Structure 1
Amino acid sequence: MSDTERPDRAVEPSSFSVRDLLAESLAGLLQRPARSALTALGTVLGVGTFVAILGLTATTSSQIDARFSVLTATEVTVEDVAREQDPYAPMAFPRNADQRIEGLAGVEHAGVFWSVRTGPDMRVHASLGGGSADGTGEDAALVAASPGVLEAAVPHLSQGRIFDAYHEKHADDVAVIGSGLAERLGVTTLETHPAIFVGEQPFTVIGIIDDVRRKADLLSSVVIPRSTALGLYGEPQDTPAKMLVSTRIGAAQQIAAEAPTALRPDHPGYLKAVPPPDPKSLRSHVTDDLSQLFLLLASICLVIGAVGIANTTLVAVLERTAEIGLRRALGARGRHITVQFLAESAALGALGGLIGTSLGTVTVVAVAVARDWTPVVHPSTVATAPVIGLVTGLVAGLYPALRASRIQPAEALRR
């Protein structure tokens, strides 16, 4: 039988080994190295932001536990809400409010305070008439407080002393002021028993504080005894009175539950106790807020990266149409073309994911070191982030790869 008479031999199917796939994909990426690098940049930003966000969220969450202030956890505030129920009700706190609360087990110090009404005639100045007529003077707040407030605030005195039960009992015209206000008023020493004026009312400055551990607004205020304020200005009008209570560790919740009844057994509803926040709840809220805000940013970066990879892969398909047609003519199948372009886009995504993971981790460590924190990056985050980059590249390259696989050899070779 002649050769022409022999039946056609079966054509062996073409194959595309993994080695060839990797070689072709690498060659495709290296044809335009600058463009490939810029394309991967979107994924780098997205994955890097993702890792940095999760790492910083975990780090800050751990710091909330570590830094949750013992002072905050031992602080209770009691508010006068009597006028919400009766507009004509007097101040709900009794005169011996400090003693009633300090009698509860677990209380260290307690005191009632409120802001005295202010106005143009209530400016603070260092000489009589210095602020009433010409409008000069300081707009410092005037705070009425029982001695327990200053003790609960744990002030640091640069000069002098705080007022005590003696000044409260005799309604003395004395004041404690912050160091900043003292400097502006020209009060540099207490040896001469200097006086300041609120409007036309003089107060002898007996103490200057330069720091407090609670109630920081005292640093910019003129603090006078409660009894003195009641005698000069009457009960609080514009803002209701409050009580500051410092407790021992672990007693705050119990004190908050007992305080209204201890102060006003006849009308406990006139007072509202505010316990310290739960650190676990606070950490949860902070974590949720950070995660929702910044993960949205990371998602946007990933979408931008995916669009960049898709665009670059599609341009590569158009530029290499002739090459694709030639390979198809030599026996390459459509799935081989699809796999090759998917491998290229996946490689871009994976490379961006790896670089982004490294940069995100470095960012977390750098921020933690700068703030003297302990960096926290979960291993699952580091392991997942490059996979996210890989998946982003695969999804972005799916359409260009399918389009490349549909190119017909004859049509491509005619271009």
Structure 2
Amino acid sequence: MRARPLRIFFSALGIAIGIGAMLAVVGISTSSRAELNQTLDRLGTNLLTAAPGKTRPGDEAVLPEESTASVSRIGPVDSVSATGSVEKFIYRTDHVPAGQTSSIQVFAAQTELLTVVDGAVHAGSWFTPATAAYPTVVLGATAARRLDIPGVGTRVWLGGEWFAVIGILAPVPLVEELDSAALVGWDAARSYLDFDGHPTRLYLRAAPTQVAAVRAVLGRTVNPEAPNEVSVSRPSDALAAKQATDNALNGLLLGLGAVALLVGIDIANTMVISVLERRAEVGLRRALGATRGQIRSQVLAESLLLSTLGCAGGTLLGVVATGLYAASQGWPVVVPAGAMAGGLTATLLIGATAGLYPAVRASRLAPTEALSGT
């Protein structure tokens, strides 16, 4: 191998690229999954929502006004809040034509809403019991951008009244409808916007181990007279998300077999060429008394060493590629130890298998035939 370093380098490089590509794909996928799991853990997997469904004739159902209080009495429920749809429109000024609504919905919001949905205020502040009773509004991130609101303190024209913008929300990943909404206090909506007090969506947090149990009784609790008219969902369906990422990762790991096959072809080609180039050397060794087993051992040892060098280089390439990409995305860097160990094991096994035919072929060369072919 020292006598032909360039050939060995390029052969090992081919193996390294294959192993590195496999590890990079698995490492990036695993890092992405780790980031997803951290995000889900941070946002919580115990958020449930309840909204009006359809009545038997097909009309839009209505949730009772006392829905929030009823749900709060469920034992495993930690917190609950609600929003109510307000049939009003919001404009940047009172001179904007009535049809140009910017597709912004207006909701009445209870003061506990931001805590329940794990939202955050980007600028300004959220409603307090005092500000929720006055003509104030908190805008979602998208709504503020559509209205071209420079910051808090700006006035907007809402339902024929001037409302002061007291806050702008950061994006809310689990409740995306809030991003493009204008939120007013529950009492202010009643006083200034003719809000009827019926919630249109309930948000609640349940004990993580009791989410399924709470979900089963939520419809009957929200509307005991017509539980079938309540639509219950779980926007933070983390179990399905985790299962999907696990399945995706398992699918990527199946590519290890294809990579190993390519590595084996590369090793086999390298070793066949090596035997052809060294016919004279093999013949001389056989003439000096080397047995067929010693010749086979020499070729197999070279094949395994070549596989080890390529695998070590590929592992380094895969780890570096994963680290660079994950760092650029702000993800945790995760390279599964099982993938690295599996790559090494598979490469050695394939290397030994691929080197077996050249080893047998070399050991069968007669000394006179090998020396006469030089």
TM-score band by shorter chain is 0.7 to 0.9
Q: Secondary structure at the match of 1:94?
A: coil
Aligned partners of 2:20 and 2:317 also within 8 Å: yes
Bigger Rg, structure 1 or 2: 1
One-letter amino acid of the structure 2 residue matched with residue 73 of structure 1: T
Supply the distance in 1 between the matched residues of 2:131 and 2:16 (Cα, whole angstroms): 68
Match of 2:116 in 1: 152
Give aligned-pair identity as a percent: 24
Match of 1:176 in 2: 138
2:81 paired residue number = 110
* Distance change >3 Å, CA 277–CA 223, structure 1 → 2: closer
Q: Secondary structure, in 3 states, of the residue corresponding to 2:49?
A: strand
Deviation, structure 1 residue 39: 0.9
3-state DSSP of counterpart to 1:223: strand
Letter in 2 for 1:82: K
Taking the aligned partners of 2:167 and 2:30, their CA distance within structure 1 comes to 41
2:127 corresponds to 1:127: no
One-letter amino acid of the counterpart of residue 102, structure 1: S
Q: Give me the TM-score of the superposition, normalised by structure 1.
A: 0.68
CA apart distance, 1:59 = 6.8
Matches within 5 A, 1:280-359: 283=242, 285-293=244-252, 295-358=253-316
Equivalent position of 2:104 in the other structure: 141
CA RMSD of aligned residues (A): 4.4
1:21-40 alignment runs, 5 A limit: 29-40=1-12
- Counterpart contact for 2:27–2:334, Cα < 8 Å: yes
Change in 2 beyond 3 A, CA 1:208/1:280: closer
Q: State the SS of the aligned residue for 1:31.
A: coil
Q: Is the 8 A contact 2:175 2:235 kept in 1?
A: no
Matched position secondary structure for 2:351: helix
> How much does 1:146 deviate?
4.2
Q: Which runs of 5+ in 2 are unaligned?
A: none
Determine which of 69, 72, 75 is the counterpart of 2:44.
72
2:179 to 219, 226, 229: 219
Decide whether the 8 Å contact of 2:65 with 2:197 is kept in 1: no
Task: Quickly say closer, same or farther: Cα 1:254–1:335, change in 2 above 3 A.
Answer: same
- Partners of 1:364 and 1:251 lie apart in 2 by 38
> Pick from 66, 81, 84: which aligns with 1:96?
66
| C-alpha displacement of 1:347 | 1.3
> How far 1:334 moved relative to its partner?
3.7
**1:390 matched residue in structure 2:** 348
Q: TM-score, normalised by structure 2?
A: 0.74
SS in 2 for 1:93: coil
User: Is 1:257–1:273's contact at 8 Å kept on the other side of the alignment?
Assistant: no
CA drift of 1:108 comes to: 1.9
Question: Matched residues in 2 for 1:97 and 1:191: separation?
Answer: 33
Shift of 1:337: 2.9
What CA distance in whole angstroms lies between the structure 1 residues aligned with 2:285 and 2:145?
Answer: 85
Is the Cα–Cα contact under 8 Å of residues 113 and 242 in structure 1 kept in the other structure? yes
Q: Is the 8 A contact 2:136 2:166 kept in 1?
A: no
AA in 2 matched with 1:96 = E
- Measure the CA separation in 2 of the matches of 1:98 and 1:235: 11
Q: Is the 8 A contact 1:160 1:206 kept in 2?
A: no
Structure 1 pair 218–73 and aligned structure 2 pair: CA distance change class (3 A): same
CA distance 1:384–1:69, change in 2 (3 Å): closer
